[in-house]
């Protein structure tokens, strides 16, 4: 019996290596194609999502739909009751802003849409950013206090010495219990200038 020559062994090894190398190149090429497709899909999806916002606004404008109009049309005002709303303003620690409600309190009918203002002034010689966090007393009153528009929905950046009136549009739900005759709405402003610069 003759043993296979070393030459044949070498050819077999080279052939095997070539076969292994070929799928590897093919896999790399397929990976590149897949990556290119994914990189193309992401901006297309972002563009599609961004285009939905103006499209939605245009549809609402054509149909005459706004959040406030929808509330006025769909909310029944309870003229038999009054709820007193007190407005309170706080600053966290040494945040150098002046912050106060323009109106200290209002009396509202449940279901009526009301707008009040808070006034804030940046007393620092440079721009700063604050974030307002609301709280309610009694705590359960927050379940019936519905904000339509509020400066607390986003950070507020004020330039040096700037004063700004910031609206809060709200309504108190009709289903508020009779025992809740008054609500204290308090906002505390936190200094988030450092966070705003990072983002």
Q: Is 119's pLDDT higher than 60? A: yes
Which domains are assigned to the chain?
A: 3-63 (no CATH), 83-198 (2.60.370.10)
- pLDDT, tens only, 32-79: 877 777 776 755 555 554 444 455 455 545 544 455 554 554 458 999
Least confident of 45-49, 80-84, 118-122, 169-173: 45-49
Q: Which of 114, 99, 174, 172 is nearest to 141 (CA)?
A: 172
Q: What is the pLDDT of residues 137-154, one digit of tens each?
A: 999 999 999 999 999 999
Structure tokens, 180? 């809740």
Q: Mention every residue, 6+ apart, whose C-beta is less than 8 A from residue 101.
A: 87, 88, 89, 116, 117, 118, 119
- The model's confidence at residue 126, banded by pLDDT at 50, 70 and 90, is very high
Q: For residue 107, is pLDDT > 80? A: yes
């Amino acid at each position: 019996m003759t043993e296979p020559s070393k030459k044949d062994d070498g050819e077999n090894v080279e052939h095997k290596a070539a076969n292994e190398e070929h799928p590897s190149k093919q896999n790399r090429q397929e990976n590149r194609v897949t990556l290119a497709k994914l990189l193309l899909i992401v901006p297309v999806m972002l563009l599609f999502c961004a285009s939905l916002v103006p499209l939605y606004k245009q549809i609402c404008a054509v149909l005459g739909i706004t959040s406030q109009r929808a509330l006025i049309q769909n909310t029944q005002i309870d003229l038999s009751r009054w709820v007193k709303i007190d407005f309170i303003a706080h600053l966290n620690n040494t945040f150098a802003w002046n912050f106060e409600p323009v109106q200290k309190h209002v009396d509202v009918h449940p279901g009526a849409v009301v707008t009040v203002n808070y006034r804030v002034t940046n007393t620092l010689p440079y721009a700063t950013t604050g974030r307002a966090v609301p709280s309610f007393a009694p705590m359960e009153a927050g379940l019936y206090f519905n904000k339509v528009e509020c400066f607390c929905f986003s950070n507020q950046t004020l330039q040096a010495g700037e004063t700004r009136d910031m609206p809060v549009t709200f309504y108190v739900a009709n289903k508020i219990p009779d025992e809740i005759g008054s609500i204290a709405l308090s906002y505390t402003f936190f200094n988030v200038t450092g966070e705003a610069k990072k983002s």
